[in-house]
């Protein structure tokens, strides 16, 4: 694991992550998502860092998604959070190097 901002990111080759179906209730309806453990664990860390329940974060993702199914929308959301954090760190490092 490597620290990326407030998040721990799995690194290296051969990462194994089981795909699991998880039943959730969003907006008073039961549904299931099929998400790899790595994405689910990152989603939980993101929710925790925002002082949110995972359920509430998933409701936001569901409300904001445009075309992808909910499982894909969760993966894309997690990817975007980490990409934004990576870009932020890269920008800060560039500013420090320029000084």
Digit-coded pLDDT (tens) for 59-68: 999 999 988 8
Residue 39 has pLDDT above 70, yes or no: yes
Chain mean pLDDT for the chain = 88
Per the structure, the complete domain to which residue 80 belongs is given by 2-98
Condensed to tens digits (0 to 9), the pLDDT of residues 64-92 reads: 998 889 999 999 999 999 999 999 999 88
Q: At what angle do helices 70-98 and 54-64 cross, to 10 degrees?
A: 100
What average pLDDT score do residues 22-50 get? 94
Report d(CA 6, CA 11) in Å as an integer.
16
Q: Which of 3, 1, 5, 2 is nearest to 91 (CA)?
A: 5
Q: What is the pTM of this model?
A: 0.79
Confidence bin at 10 (pLDDT 50/70/90):
low
What is the CATH number for 20?
1.10.3990.20
Q: How many domains does the chain have?
A: 1
């Amino acid at each position: 694991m490597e620290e990326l901002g407030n998040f721990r990111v799995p690194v290296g080759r051969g990462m194994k992550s089981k795909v699991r179906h998880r039943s959730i209730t969003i907006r008073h309806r039961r549904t299931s998502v099929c998400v790899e453990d790595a994405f689910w664990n990152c989603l939980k860390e993101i929710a925790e860092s925002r002082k949110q329940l995972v359920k509430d974060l998933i409701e936001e993702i569901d409300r904001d998604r445009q075309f992808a199914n909910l499982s894909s929308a969760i993966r894309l959301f997690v990817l975007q959070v980490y990409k934004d954090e990576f870009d932020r760190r890269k920008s800060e490092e560039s500013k420090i190097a320029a000084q």
